[in-house]
Amino acid sequence: PRAASGEGGSCDGAVDAEAKVSPKEQPPQQQYAPTVVQSAPPQHMVVQMPPRLHNYLSSDPLELMVAPGDVLVVRGNGGGGLAAIGQAGGFMGHVLIVLGAPTRVQRGTPVAHELEEAWPSPTVAPGVSEIWRLRTVESTRRETGLYESETLFFVDRPTRRILVCGEVAPDGDVIVCEAPELAELWQSPEELRSELRVDLMSQVMAEMRVSQSNWSYATGLKAVFKAASVKLGNGKTSSLQEIAECWSRPPICTSVVIGFWQRYLTKLALPLVPPPGCTAGIFLEGERVAFWSAAHGGLWLDALVIGCNADAVGRVVSYNLDCVVGAPAGVVRRPVLTRHETTRALDLILQYMPLKADRALPGDLLKTLKECEWVPITEVPRVFRSAVVQPPPLFVFP
């Protein structure tokens, strides 16, 4: 029985042993997971691009081209004949004096919304993103006395011409042109423009506001039939007095321009030399000046500034000129200040505005401006602004 039970036990034990085999002792089963092959990242080169100069036209820099005293000419359309004298766009055109720098008005701003009715329509002038406000003064048939306002204009993108589209009246009302009027700007001569005396211009305007009469049709007719050029009479003093008498007579539009500049030149001629201990101004390299030369018998000589010399505190004490090195600052002047006081005013008028204020038509004025070194701006040049731009690096793969 023990043997039997042993055999039977051994069989049962084998079964039990087989049943009690640990999972760790079971033969491993074959697994079919996908194979992941890790490869190196693709190789590439980083090429650093060189910087480039980017030129862009962000706006027309009219603030660099317009200065007080410049003349704005609204060209005539030839319509209306003599009946159109004295109004913008009328017979032979209309002229105004500029009183300050222009102000840019960008489309979409609150100020632009106030001027919306004067903004040129896309059908007339497409692509206009800005207009300009310019303080001007004029004598016009539709207003009494001296008329000061803000002229509104823009630059036509395709032609680069200046077009007047309206004005802002002294009471703030916006007056719109029926159609944009072609205009041009005349810059004052270089000798005068290099150092404008805005204080003297303010004095001139104060005098003109008090004494200016209304626009005169009779003066307009006189301008048609009488010569406007200045001719020397019995002497320079009497000639200057004759010129000044024309300032107070009833004006036309040109009278304001002529009277303004002749008054200004007369005031500019008053001081012959600066006060003791003061120089006549600061002169930059490349400027034309006058140099008092004792070696040449006490004469004012034309000279060109090459450089300047300063003391320990930075005060200019002498100039290097093309004719002499180390000229004391006290003997260097602007050429306009070297003439004798009694003749300087008339000399300046004969050089830059030799017309009688009560009998010059716009055509006479423009002809004279051209002959007297005034510079016309009929088309606004495209002035590009520059910026150095660093492009992003370039990735080059094999």
Tell me which residue of 132, 135, 192 sits closest to 369, measured CA to CA: 192
SS3 label, residue 77: coil
Q: Are 345 and 337 in contact (CB under 8 A)?
A: no
C-alpha span between 158 and 127 (Å, rounded): 9
Give pLDDT, residue 225.
54
pLDDT of residue 199: 92
What pLDDT score does 223 carry?
Answer: 60
- Look at the pTM and tell me if it is higher than 0.85: no
d(CA 113, CA 120): 13
- The whole-angstrom separation of Cα 188 and Cα 71 is 8
pLDDT at 293: 78
Other CB atoms within 10 Å distance of the CB of residue 306: 14
- Residue 2: what pLDDT? 46
- Helix (H) / strand (E) element for 221: namely helix 217-225
**What is residue 275's predicted lDDT score, i.e. its pLDDT?**
47
- Residue 366's pLDDT is 93
Q: What is residue 127's predicted lDDT score, i.e. its pLDDT?
A: 82
Which run of H or E residues covers position 10?
helix 2-19
Q: What is the pLDDT of residue 151?
A: 95
Which residue from 128, 140, 153, 131 is spatially nearest to 95, judged by alpha carbons?
A: 140
Instruction: Give the pLDDT of residue 17.
Output: 45
pLDDT in tens, the chain (398 residues): 444 444 444 444 444 544 455 555 555 555 555 555 555 566 778 888 888 888 877 778 888 899 999 999 998 554 433 333 444 444 457 899 999 999 999 998 999 999 999 998 888 888 888 999 999 999 887 787 889 999 999 999 889 999 999 999 999 999 998 889 999 999 999 989 988 999 999 999 999 998 777 766 666 666 665 677 777 665 555 578 888 888 888 888 899 999 999 999 988 887 544 444 455 568 888 988 888 877 665 677 889 999 999 998 888 889 999 989 998 888 888 876 666 655 788 889 999 999 998 888 888 999 999 999 999 999 998 888 788 888 888 887 76
Between CA 199 and CA 188 the distance in angstroms is: 17
CA-wise closest residue to 230 among 116, 324, 112, 365: 365
Beta strands in 188-298 (DSSP E): 288-293
Residue 315 φ/ψ, nearest 5 degrees: -85, 130
Q: What is the pLDDT of residue 56?
A: 76
Look at the alpha carbons of 124, 130, 132, 133 in this order and tell me if their dihedral is positive or negative: positive
* Confidence at residue 152, expressed as pLDDT on a 0 to 100 scale: 95
Q: Report the sign of the C-alpha dihedral through residues 232, 355, 255, 360, in that order.
A: positive
